[in-house]
Chains A and B, each alone.
Chain A
Amino acid sequence: MEKLIEGALAEALKRNRDRFNTKYALARRSVPALLPEAFAEHLRSTVSPIADVVGSHFVDCVDAVVDALYDLSLELVGKGFLGEQTRYPALLDGWRKLLVAVPHFLVSDPALVCGSVSNALYNLSTTAGARPGEWIKGMIQMGWICSDAASFLEAGKVIAWRSGMAHYREGALEACRKLDPDVARAALGVMDVKSAAPIDVILDRMARDPWQHPATVDHGMGRKKVLKIVSRAGAFRGFGGLFPAPPRVAVRGGEFLVFDNETWWTLTADLFGSTLHRVGPKIPGLKNEINPAFKIDSSGRVLKESEGARFPALSKSSSSASNETTLAVTVPLSHSVYLVAMVEDFQ
């Protein structure tokens, strides 16, 4: 037998029965797939726990929160983004784990907070290589540190970057500068506040070097750096990746461009991850720019200034391109782009 909706949600629904019925009826018209059983189950299993948490701390805010969650549920369950049959399990996880953990932010602007969290998790879920689960964990932690919903959402941009959305790097660094320094450090994952460098120093160093870890930025002494393969971006389409054929790489204006025989992609990468963004079948006037910072020979030996290292996996490379901080290399038998950079040596 189907379980009843109980608790704070049941009371809120009862109080505004006409309004909720009308909303459901109208939503059902435009989305016939919005089945009453599935929607009721979503309310019971996902919305009800959030309403209960809100009810136990902010009893006066239950109606407003339920109103916003109900509207978003109609929108998202109907289109398959939420509910038991969701195509985006991380989105459902976000409602079930994150929203119940931040009732204090949810009550300040339920539609904004819940809508933003939902959209962020959707974007993380649809970006290859991004880690939505990590974002949820990070945001739960930020829930204890941030003072209001605005800084919570601002910190969310930084956490998204840390969760693999490398293309948000520039905007996330900007967001960090707007945040309270302690919140910014926490968002960057620098938990040891006492030994950490000032936030401006951390951000400046990270802005200059995409492979600089925020927790190891010291007061200018610096550790020894060595050449390493820091990341592999992309994979064979048959295994869930994007490339149908081993790709080739080029660089223009410091930006890496990858061609897989069908499509050109922009590659963004840093220590938190890498993302690929479709450009199109052609890039008019593209010419690979030669950057003298890195050199690679057929044996896979890479040189950067006075530093050198040999990488057997990169021998007989099919293409390479570099900017000031990173060397991108492709090889004939791999569907990935290898990224080589100077990073701190911890060994």
Chain B
Amino acid sequence: MSSISKTIGKVSQSPTNPHETKRRKKFDVADLYAGPATVAVQEDARQIPLDEKLRQGYFWIVNHAIISPYYDIEFNDGPAQSFTFGDQKSRLNLPSDQSYSSFVLLPLLNLVLRRRCLLVGGPGRGKTASSILMGVLAGYSIKDIKRAIQHGQPQMTISDLLGNPLPSTLVGAKSMDEVQISWRKWLGMRIKIIDEYNRIPTRTQSALLTVMSDNYAEILDQIFECPEAAWYLTANDEAGGGTYQVIEALRDRIDVVVKALHFNTRFLSELLSRIEEEIKPEEVVPPQIIFKEEEIDRAHREILDVKLGLELRRRIEFFTSQFEFCDKAADQIEYKTKDTVKLSGVEFHLVASADTGKDKLKDIGTQTRNGLSVRALMTVLAFSKALSWFRGFKEVAFEDVRQILPFVLHDKLAQDSDSPFFNVAGNEVFRTDKIGWIRRLFDLSCAEYDRLDLDRDDPVTKLEEEFDKGLEGVTESEVRARLVKIERTLAEWSKGRKLYGHMFDDILKLKYLHQRYTNYLKWLQWKS
């Protein structure tokens, strides 16, 4: 990166995934205007697929703007070399396929998904600069973006954040309807940057929460409807601490967490020349990689069209089902959840440490203090699709999910660092490395999924498929047969001595199917 060989105004040449091109005619008069000068033909720019455009944006940022020489989102298309160093067996992988820097890629995916991205890391690691770049890529001028940044500080009031009532209307108003508010400009922007959000006072955080979650702002009964926007929040403290504790609801609204990694000192020369030459990359973003509002909308729709196959979806279901179950939390099976423990106010460890006879090293559910919310699951699916789309595919691959999970679940899965898993030699590092820990969780879950051979033998999927065909025309005898099938499956499972998280969801699904068939059976009997 230190030896930049191209000028900063140039983006990577398209296509990044080359295909065969048609042969051109021998002498084309259009060649008259092709030569050493770059001609930015607007028509051509419009024809570039949006995923290609975003990839060009990514490569421009990593090549010219952000010094982030990391490829922590690794992809392989064949055997990859790996090296280990030192007594601790520190491993280095050399990916055999195009790999990416999470610090650049995830904010970009957040831009087209219009979600909420938290950039965490020590001061001066480019968190705010990266957010500003996203604003420029969304078509805003540097001046506008810089003015729109909300800088968290202990004295920040709701008025500072949202706006003020106009004094003239406040004095003359006979009802609240007559009060006019001077809304802050950033509320109407499609990029919202909150710098050091953990320095915002709690009360103001609540006002921010309304904007983040419900997309509107409210002052004195006056409402400002905000447009769909990509949010970028920065924090120095990963745990959400700071001048003020970040309210949990606000943290829960964050979709993806990106770590600003340390500065690699081997790139100091690059830094030096930037200082000496007063280089400000955000000032020279090439127009070819700037997204119009309509393009972001279109990219969003294209991402939603990316398919996620059944086999992969089952693995995600299996993985995410592991965490909510807590055997000792309740008597009735539906309430056997970590959420029940949390709501009861009882110390989590008192319940979690109770012996259920399960192997606590094997049961990955013991490693967390919570389960996953619907919002978290939706975010996993959305970002997996976005990553796949970014890589130029129409269907999500296993590795897309594996690579994206840690960043989405980073703040969603609360680690129980007292779990025996972390006392095993080699696992201690996962107490501090949440990215690695979540990826390991997924790997362990997939290994268990394979051991159980659920791709080929999953009775719940078979029953689901049967049910999904609809109940129209299903005879009474058929319903009874299906009920027996469900009961037999449950009876079979009940012979086992241990109940694991994934079985918990399966059992409840079977109960659901049983109830639907029971109701249908009653209706059939009444009808006849």
Q: Which residues does A use to contact B, with CB under 8 Å?
A: 16, 18-19, 21-23, 25-31, 71-72, 74-76, 79, 81, 109, 111-112, 114-116, 118-120, 122-123, 153, 156-157, 160-161, 165, 167-168, 170-172, 174-175, 268, 277
Q: Is the CB of A21 within 8 A of B277?
A: yes
- Docked pose: A172 CA to B32 CA in angstroms: 11
Closest CB of chain A to B403's CB: distance in Å? 31
Q: Do residues B284 and A26 form an inter-chain contact, with CB atoms below 8 A?
A: yes
Contact residues on B (Cβ < 8 Å of other chain), bracket: 20 to 34
Question: B279 near A171 (CB under 8 angstroms)?
Answer: no
Known: A26-B277, A71-B9. 20 other contacts (CB 8 A): A16-B283, A19-B283, A21-B280, A22-B277, A22-B284, A23-B7, A23-B8, A26-B7, A29-B273, A30-B4, A72-B37, A74-B7, A75-B38, A76-B36, A115-B33, A115-B39, A119-B36, A120-B33, A160-B29, A175-B29
Tell me the nearest residue of chain B to A156, going by C-beta.
B32
Would you give 26 A-B contacts (Cβ < 8 Å), ordered by A?
A18-B278, A19-B284, A21-B278, A21-B279, A21-B280, A22-B277, A22-B281, A22-B283, A25-B277, A25-B278, A25-B279, A26-B277, A27-B7, A27-B9, A71-B9, A74-B7, A111-B40, A120-B33, A122-B36, A123-B31, A123-B32, A123-B34, A160-B32, A171-B27, A172-B29, A174-B29
Nearest CB in chain B: distance from A72 CB, A: 5
Q: In the bound complex, what is the Cα–Cα distance between A49 and B277 (angstroms)?
A: 28
Please name all residues of chain A whose beta carbon is closer than 8 Å to the beta carbon of B5 when the two chains form the complex: 30
Interface contact A119-B27, CB-CB below 8 Å? no
Q: Are B37 and A115 in contact (CB under 8 A)?
A: yes
Q: Complex Cα distance A144/B36, Å?
A: 27
Q: How far is the CB of A138 from chain B (nearest CB, A)?
A: 13
B42 at the interface (CB under 8 A from A): yes
Q: How far is the CA of A167 from the CA of B283 in the complex (A)?
A: 42
A30-B7, A167-B27 known; A76 vs B37 contact (CB < 8 Å): yes
**Distance of A26 Cα from B42 Cα, bound (Å):** 24
> Are the C-beta atoms of B34 and A119 separated by less than 8 Å?
yes
Question: Which chain B positions have C-beta within 8 A of A156?
Answer: 32-33
Q: Majority SS of interface residues in chain B?
A: loop
Identify which of residues 35-57 in chain B touch chain A, using a CB-to-CB cut-off of 8 Å.
Answer: 35-42
Most buried by B among A26, A112, A114, A171: A26
- Residues on A with C-beta less than 8 A from B41 are 112
- Assess whether B350 is interfacial by the CB under 8 Å rule: no
> Which B124-147 residues have C-beta < 8 A from chain A?
none
B8, A118: Cβ atoms under 8 Å? Answer: no
Q: Do B29 and A115 touch across chains, with their CB atoms under 8 A apart?
A: no
In the complex, A175→B29 CA distance in Å?
A: 9
- Taking CB as reference atom, which chain A residue is nearest B7? A27
Q: Residue of A at shortest CB range from B41?
A: A112
- Smallest beta-carbon distance A276→chain B, Å: 12
Contact B8 A111 (CB under 8 A): no
Query: Using a Cβ cutoff of 8 Å, how many contacts connect chains A and B?
Result: 124
Which A residues are CB-close (under 8 A) to B64? Answer: 26
Within the complex, what minimum Cβ distance (angstroms) separates A27 from chain B?
5
Q: Is the CB–CB distance between A116 and B33 below 8 Å?
A: yes
B283:A168 contact, CB within 8 angstroms: no
Kindly identify, within residues 278 to 300 of chain B, every residue whose CB is under 8 Å from any CB belonging to chain A.
278-281, 283-284
Which residue on chain B has the smallest CB distance to residue A111? Answer: B40
- B1-45: contact bitstring with A at CB < 8 Å (1 yes, 0 no)? 000111111000000000000000001111111111111111000
Contact among B4, B28, B278 with A29 in the assembled complex (CB-CB below 8 Å) = B4
Interchain CB contact under 8 A, A171 and B280? no
The 10 A-B residue pairs with the shortest CB-CB distance in the complex, in nearest-first order: A171-B29, A119-B35, A25-B277, A115-B39, A19-B283, A26-B8, A118-B37, A116-B33, A167-B27, A115-B37
The answer to whether A112 and B9 touch across the interface, beta carbons within 8 angstroms, is no
Q: Do the beta carbons of A165 and B8 come within 8 Å of each other?
A: no
Question: Contact between B32 and A109 (Cβ–Cβ < 8 Å)?
Answer: no
Given A22-B280, A22-B284, A112 and B32 touching (CB < 8 A)? no
Q: How far is the CA of A120 from the CA of B33 in the complex (A)?
A: 5
Cβ contacts B257-286/A at 8 Å (1 or 0 each): 000000000000000010001111101100
A18 touches B280 (CB 8 A): yes
Chain B positions within 8 Å of A160 at CB level: 29, 32
Q: A120 to B32, Cβ gap below 8 A?
A: yes
Are A118 and B35 in contact (CB-based, < 8 A)?
yes
Which of B32, B40, B280 has the most CB atoms of chain A within a 10 A radius of its CB?
B32
Neighbour of A119 across the interface among B9, B29, B33, B284, CB < 8 A: B33
A274 to B208 CA separation, bound complex (whole angstroms): 72
Take A25-B278, A26-B64, A29-B273 as given contacts and tell me if A168 and B36 are in contact as well, using a CB distance cutoff of 8 Å.
no
Contacts of A109 in B (CB 8 A): 42
Which of B6, B37, B42, B64 has its CB near the most chain A CB atoms (within 10 A)? B37
A65 to chain B, nearest CB (A): 14
